[in-house]
Chains A and B, each alone.
Chain A
Amino acid sequence: MLNKVRAWVEDRTGLESGINHFLNEDIPASSGWHQVFGSMALFMFLVQVFTGIMMALNYAPTTAEAHSSLRYILTELTAGRLMRGLHHWGASMMICIVVLHMLQVFLWGAYKKPREATWMLGVVLLLLTLGFGLTGYLLPWDNRAYWGTVVTTQIAAKAPMMGPYILTLLGSEDGQIGSVTFARFYAAHVLILPAVTALLIFLHVYLVRRHGVAPAPVETAPPIKFYPRQVFKDTVAIFGMFALLFVLAVAVRVPLGKLADPNDVSYIPRPEWYFLFLFQILKYFEGPLEIVGSMILPGLAVLLLFLTPFIDRGKAIALRQRTGAIGVLLLALIGWGGLTAAALSTTPHRDPWKGFTAEEMAAIGTFRQSDCWKCHATTPGESRTGPNLADIAVLRDRDWLVKHFKDASGEAGKAVKDLQWRRLATFLPKLDDENVESLHRAPQTMVAGAMVYQQNNCGACHVINGAGMKSGPPLNGVAKRWDRKWMEEHFIDPESKSPGTIMPAYKFSPADMTAMLDYMMSLTD
């Protein structure tokens, strides 16, 4: 019966003989482990398509809901984090594999006549892969996504003459990133790029078949079949890569940051690692020369890459006879590596709690004092009796939380800590992947200082991180204006330091004074 069905399908479609024809291609006997990268890149593309579809099944592609639907995927769905992890790390891995694939082809001289068109299609595929990274970056719609894309579109806006048109095409007529840009990036990411990429992959593979796998300079043995020897090597390589990807997706959490906030001036935008060299190069060209870094050099590099088979027309394939080509490649790698390293070394590290208001810092204090951490872990993956606050979004509303705090602390019916409970209940739902660990990582002395600050109502006159009243001087960066000793004396007797001040004297206990001063001195601009 099964054989009959098989025979019928073969007769009507030629499926089986087609597959056999594909698998039994002759390849040079020298083929081996160095030629696994093309199959790996194709496999990575399929993984991205699959995980992308999985995410799309629970994702709302609008600025209003993208962030909350992704949060839903991450915190409320089984394997949601895994799907996003695979897609996120898969993107980086795909770039690595595509570059390795190109390096191999370059080193083996496989782009030379008659394979020029295969190479050029490959360069276009590289650009498409980068295009996926660029457009996908915006889709989480968190601060990272938003600010990264602001920089990207602003670079495009500076193109001579074309600038305004490119900006309009990107849906950012007025220079702002919003719903239209988001829709365009999404459509490009899930409709245009996959369709074009799939088509070009097909053509690329067709050309590989047309010209055959590139042979070594001297082939001594007769050709072998693609299946199963080379397919086995491809499969082992693919499996190794997939295992690494899976481990990355499980072990390294991809954070979902705060909802995109165009007013958050404290955010430091950085592109994905594979664009860092472009980001860095912009620092060396200022004023009218900027276009050299943003357009001319990258444009030339792409052109050079695209035309490689025509620039390097020598017939030599063996590595030793191509010192010129190898030299250019080494220079390019050093340049890329150097720029990337320079960009990484200048990326500032910012502790998330440094952006919290005093009220939020004090809420951390309440969390610690009330022993919430005995039941609730705040590190991903850790398990305690209560829900892990890093793994599950705090979905309860404020009233529910306040009631829960009172019940759990045995203070039901008492009103003593109402204000503190309400502040904690306001604070917890605002936490996200990037700052939830502040609950245990923020230095205790700063937290204690913030509690003293709250108890003494300092916010009635002063501003910290945007919260408070402005009748007194703002406290961010106060350490630059005064030293610790001056501050201490000012607390004890303000009049002695700034005559005529309306600030009253504060007689803190020694412990409170230390905490308060630590907190004040830690406030950055």
Chain B
Amino acid sequence: MKSPSPEEPRRGFLIASINGLMGLITAALALPSAGYLLGGSKAKRPADWVPAGDLAKLEENVPEQIVFERVRRDGWKTVKEKASAWMVKTSDKEVVAFSPVCTHLGCAVSWDTSAKTFACPCHTSSFGTDGKVLAGPAPRSLDRFAVKMDGSTILLGEIRQADKA
């Protein structure tokens, strides 16, 4: 955008002003836009505790998929939806609830009764009953739900990342 024009003495000032003012406008639009697109929703709320099955009905160390209903904020909507967890009863009073989502790329894992592992159908990751990675590209153990007991009813809360495998 340079072209010599000697008859214009303030040329440098004019060009600097044009670029400066346009830069300011660009910044005034770009910065809020970054916040708008990257800031996420301000109305974060912790997941409610939702009942998901009866501990008494589970068999120790036999993983079972429990389907439960939860309420989730989906953008501008609040949706009631079905979700599931793989429950492994570890003792009379304790249960571990794994998220059924493979930590590699998000496919749904299921219990392979013959191999006794949680197997991912996508890239053949597999996990033990403790959630640890046994094979495949998964970077960390299966994620776990926070668990609370109400009598023998299992209550599930937030999903938390387990340590890296």
Also in contact, A60 and B11, with CB within 8 A (given A78-B35, A78-B42): no
Using Cβ atoms and an 8 Å threshold, which residues of chain B touch A83? 32-33, 36
B32 to chain A: closest CB distance in Å? 4
Using Cβ atoms and an 8 Å threshold, which residues of chain B touch A47? 29
Are B42 and A77 in contact (CB-based, < 8 A)?
yes
Also in contact, A228 and B14, with CB within 8 A (given A65-B77, A79-B32): yes
B92 to chain A: closest CB distance in Å? 33
Given the complex of chains A and B, what is the CA–CA distance between A507 and B39 in angstroms? 58
Also in contact, A20 and B1, with CB within 8 A (given A71-B76, A239-B24): yes
Contacts of A388-408 to chain B: CB distance below 8 A? 392-393, 395
B75 at the interface (CB under 8 A from A): yes
Give the contacting residue for B28; candidates A16, A228, A246; CB below 8 A. A246
Also in contact, A65 and B25, with CB within 8 A (given A79-B36, A235-B18): no
Using Cβ atoms and an 8 Å threshold, which residues of chain A touch B29? 47, 50
Contacts of B64-98 to chain A: CB distance below 8 A? 73, 75-78
B105 at the interface (CB under 8 A from A): no
Also in contact, A68 and B76, with CB within 8 A (given A78-B42, A79-B36): yes
Are A65 and B36 in contact (CB-based, < 8 A)?
no
Are B35 and A79 in contact (CB-based, < 8 A)?
yes
Are B25 and A77 in contact (CB-based, < 8 A)?
no
Also in contact, A232 and B18, with CB within 8 A (given A50-B29, A65-B76, A77-B39): yes
Using Cβ atoms and an 8 Å threshold, which residues of chain A touch B39? 77-79
Also in contact, A242 and B25, with CB within 8 A (given A19-B1, A228-B8, A232-B18): yes
B108 at the interface (CB under 8 A from A): no
Identify the closest chain B residue to A57 (Cβ). B37
Given the complex of chains A and B, what is the CA–CA distance between A47 and B15 in angstroms? 22
A236 at the interface (CB under 8 A from B): yes
Also in contact, A235 and B43, with CB within 8 A (given A20-B3, A242-B28): no
Give the contacting residue for B14; candidates A24, A69, A232, A395; CB below 8 A. A232
Are A78 and B36 in contact (CB-based, < 8 A)?
yes
Contacts of B1-54 to chain A: CB distance below 8 A? 1, 3, 5, 8, 11, 14-15, 17-18, 21-22, 24-25, 28-29, 32-33, 35-37, 39, 41-43, 45
Are A72 and B18 in contact (CB-based, < 8 A)?
no
Are B35 and A228 in contact (CB-based, < 8 A)?
no
B79 to chain A: closest CB distance in Å? 12
Given the complex of chains A and B, what is the CA–CA distance between A296 and B17 in angstroms? 49
Identify the closest chain B residue to A43 (Cβ). B25
A54 at the interface (CB under 8 A from B): yes
A174 to chain B: closest CB distance in Å? 29
A308 to chain B: closest CB distance in Å? 34
Mask, A67-86, CB within 8 Å of B = 1, is 01101100111111011000
Give the contacting residue for B5; candidates A225, A235, A236; CB below 8 A. A225
Using Cβ atoms and an 8 Å threshold, which residues of chain A touch B15? 228
Contacts of A318-336 to chain B: CB distance below 8 A? none
A23 at the interface (CB under 8 A from B): yes
B27 to chain A: closest CB distance in Å? 11
A229 at the interface (CB under 8 A from B): yes
A238 at the interface (CB under 8 A from B): yes
Given the complex of chains A and B, what is the CA–CA distance between A431 and B65 in angstroms? 42
B106 to chain A: closest CB distance in Å? 23
Scoring B3, B8, B29, B35 by chain A CB atoms within 10 A of each residue's CB, the highest score goes to B29
Identify the closest chain A residue to B28 (Cβ). A246
Are A393 and B33 in contact (CB-based, < 8 A)?
no
Give the contacting residue for B33; candidates A54, A71, A392; CB below 8 A. A54
Are B28 and A393 in contact (CB-based, < 8 A)?
no
Using Cβ atoms and an 8 Å threshold, which residues of chain A touch B33? 54, 79, 83
Using Cβ atoms and an 8 Å threshold, which residues of chain A touch B75? 58, 69, 72
Given the complex of chains A and B, what is the CA–CA distance between A236 and B35 in angstroms? 27
Are B76 and A69 in contact (CB-based, < 8 A)?
yes
Are A76 and B77 in contact (CB-based, < 8 A)?
no
Also in contact, A236 and B43, with CB within 8 A (given A68-B77, A82-B32, A83-B32): no
Identify the closest chain B residue to A79 (Cβ). B32
A231 at the interface (CB under 8 A from B): yes
Identify the closest chain A residue to B3 (Cβ). A24
Are A229 and B28 in contact (CB-based, < 8 A)?
no
Using Cβ atoms and an 8 Å threshold, which residues of chain A touch B21? 235-236, 238-239
Given the complex of chains A and B, what is the CA–CA distance between A127 and B99 in angstroms? 56
Are B37 and A72 in contact (CB-based, < 8 A)?
no
Using Cβ atoms and an 8 Å threshold, which residues of chain B touch A165? none
Are A228 and B36 in contact (CB-based, < 8 A)?
no
Given the complex of chains A and B, what is the CA–CA distance between A69 and B29 in angstroms? 22
Using Cβ atoms and an 8 Å threshold, which residues of chain B touch A393? 43
A227 at the interface (CB under 8 A from B): yes
B143 to chain A: closest CB distance in Å? 26
Also in contact, A229 and B14, with CB within 8 A (given A76-B43, A82-B32, A395-B43): yes
B63 to chain A: closest CB distance in Å? 34
Given the complex of chains A and B, what is the CA–CA distance between A242 and B21 in angstroms? 10
Given the complex of chains A and B, what is the CA–CA distance between A60 and B43 in angstroms? 19
B24 to chain A: closest CB distance in Å? 7
Using Cβ atoms and an 8 Å threshold, which residues of chain A touch B42? 75-78, 392
Are B36 and A54 in contact (CB-based, < 8 A)?
yes
Given the complex of chains A and B, what is the CA–CA distance between A32 and B57 in angstroms? 85
B31 to chain A: closest CB distance in Å? 8
Using Cβ atoms and an 8 Å threshold, which residues of chain B touch A246? 28
A270 to chain B: closest CB distance in Å? 27
Beyond A47-B29, A78-B42, 14 extra complex contacts between A and B, CB < 8 Å: A54-B33, A57-B37, A60-B76, A75-B42, A77-B39, A77-B41, A225-B5, A228-B8, A235-B18, A235-B21, A235-B22, A238-B25, A239-B25, A392-B42
12 A–B contacts, CB within 8 A, in A order: A57-B37, A65-B77, A68-B77, A71-B76, A75-B43, A78-B42, A79-B39, A232-B14, A232-B18, A235-B17, A235-B18, A242-B28
User: Which residue numbers of A lie inside 8 Å of B, CB to CB?
Assistant: 16, 19-20, 23-24, 47, 50, 54, 57-58, 60, 65, 68-69, 71-72, 75-80, 82-83, 225, 227-229, 231-232, 235-236, 238-239, 242, 246, 392-393, 395
Q: What 7 A-B pairs have minimum CB-CB distances, sorted nearest first?
A: A78-B39, A72-B76, A79-B32, A78-B35, A228-B14, A232-B14, A239-B21
